[in-house]
Amino acid sequence: MWQKIKNVYHLGNAILANVWFGFPSKHLTVIGVTGTDGKTTTTSLIYHILHTGDYSASMISSVGAVIGGKEYDVGFHVTTPSPWALQRFIKKAVDVDSKYLVLEITSHALDQYRVWGIKFDVGVLTNVTHEHLDYHKTYENYVRTKAKLLKMARVAVVNREDESYSMISKIKNQKSNIHIKNKKWITYGLRESADVNPKVFPFKTNLIGEFNRYNVLAAVAACRSLVIEDETIRKSILTFKPPIGREEIVYKNPFTVMVDFAHTPNAFEEILNSIKPSIKGRLIHVFGSAGERDSSKRPLMGKASAKYSDIIILTAEDPRSEPVEKIMEEIELGIMNYELRIKKKTLLKIPNRQEAISAAVKMARRGDFVLITGKSHEKSMNYGKGEEPWDEFGAVSQALSVRKDDK
């Protein structure tokens, strides 16, 4: 009941904001990108393709907004801004003569009508995996919420090989309030059954992992639907660099330190599986899980990490009002033989995130790979008393500095 009231509040604000700014999206070609994982990379890649091809474009994503080439902060823990902030950004894009706007959209924003009134030309769905079930309650509800973007867009771009596809296909033909009938429907994937696949559109990329090949294909499908030249798309893919905090190597030699935003079981599986084969030494994984959010994913995160990691260090990641120790224990439940790991010191629990990162860096030997996930670009940490300053990259620098001083 309370959530419905809150959604009505957001809808009211969205209506007022659209009216106040004159429904600015009608002057733009808007590409919306949603999904559990890969939203930011796909959003950034579509923007990069447009920008590289000299198409006047702007972007709003979780790492910030780029309007007419100028960067703006979207706030703490924000992917899709509030209706007023969002419409203000869209109006800025119109004022600087942008023709295209690429917008990253969360399921919360869709459910809460924060993107009401936006004229979407293309809607992209990357995937729907285990996340936000504290809010949506069931996976089916989560998929249906994501599908709302496809309903609003002129062109629907979907991952044919994702678990959600069978349900999306049914929704496509259902007579319901979120049916997607009579849309231009484009599928993408690695297999030939998809409309856009590596055989239909060969490409080269510097991005690691199979999951990023899906992100690339999603961007390709979206840009081809906008009639962007294939050669422009291929050249742009090759020059694209991941957004800040996505597979970002922050230190290399004699060991490697990477910072990544992965914070779901699927994201763990994808990135760990991608980097593990190239590691000569040990894989040391530092992570936690957000408090007051989907707790059912915690043991699954532990299970995914344990499958690949030689050493796991559990720590804080926005615990909010939940005790960090409780969150770590719930992650621990998914780690096979966790008691043996604790005994062998291959599973450590260090609540203080700075201390956890410092411990990982200190124990790293030549050839080891330290992966730190969950916070990435975010500039704050929440311990239940509001947002406190946090800098993941600064924490790594401090850890490296201490290690250097100890020698």
CA distance 262 to 271: 8
Task: Give dist(CA 209, CA 263) in Å, integer.
Answer: 17
Compute the mean pLDDT over every residue in the chain, rounded to the nearest whole number.
Answer: 93
pLDDT of residue 31: 98
For residue 176, pLDDT over 60 is answered with no
Question: Coil, strand or helix: which one is 108?
Answer: helix
**Quick one: pLDDT at residue 180?**
61
Averaged pLDDT for residues 367-391:
95
Q: For each of the domains in the chain, give its residue range(s) and CATH number, in order of start.
A: 7-239 (3.40.1190.10), 248-406 (3.90.190.20)
The pLDDT tens digits of the residues spanning 304-337 come to 999 999 999 999 999 999 999 999 999 999 999 9
State mean pLDDT over 206-211: 94
Mind listing the pLDDT tens digit for each residue in 223-245? 999 999 999 999 999 999 999 99
The tokens for 147 are 């599908």
Mapped onto helix, strand or coil, the DSSP state of residue 283 is strand
Q: Average pLDDT, stretch 363-390?
A: 95
Average pLDDT over residues 262-272: 95
Percent residues over pLDDT 90 in the chain = 85
Question: What pLDDT is recorded for position 159?
Answer: 98
Q: What is the CA 277 to chain-centroid distance, rounded?
A: 24
What number of helices (H) and strands (E) belong to the chain? 15, 16
Query: Cβ(274)–Cβ(302) under 8 Å?
Result: no
Q: Would the pTM count as exceeding 0.85? A: yes
What pLDDT band is residue 171 in, cutting at 50, 70 and 90? confident
For 338-353, what is each residue's pLDDT tens digit? 999 999 999 999 999 9
* Main-chain dihedrals φ then ψ at residue 33, nearest 5 degrees: -125, 125
The answer, yes or no, to whether residue 87 has pLDDT greater than 90, is yes
Buried b (16+ CB within 10 A) or exposed e, 130-142: bbbbeebeebeeb
pLDDT at position 293 is 92
C-alpha R_g of the chain: 21
**What pLDDT score does 77 carry?**
61
What is the rounded CA–CA span in Å between residue 267 and residue 281?
22
pLDDT-derived band at 137 (thresholds 50, 70, 90) equals confident
Which pLDDT belongs to residue 181? Answer: 58
pLDDT reported for residue 256: 98
pLDDT score at 136 = 79
pLDDT at residue 76 is higher than 60: no
**CA neighbor of 43 nearest in space, from 23, 63, 24, 28:** 63
In 112-195 the beta strands, taken as DSSP E runs, fall at 120-125, 155-159, 184-188
Q: Left (φ > 0), alpha (ψ -120 to 50) or beta: where does 35 sit?
A: left
Q: What is the pLDDT of residues 16-69, one digit of tens each?
A: 999 999 999 999 999 999 999 999 999 999 999 999 999 999 999 988 999 999
pLDDT confidence of residue 179: 58
How large is the average pLDDT for residues 282-291?
Answer: 97
Tokens of 254: 């004699």
* Residue 275 reports pLDDT greater than 60: yes
Residue 346: what pLDDT? 97
Q: Binning pLDDT at 50, 70 and 90, where does residue 359 land?
A: very high
- In this structure, what are the phi and psi dihedrals at residue 152, rounded to the nearest 5 degrees? -80, -20
Q: Report d(CA 286, CA 304) in Å as an integer.
A: 13
Which pLDDT score, from 0 to 100, does residue 74 have?
A: 82
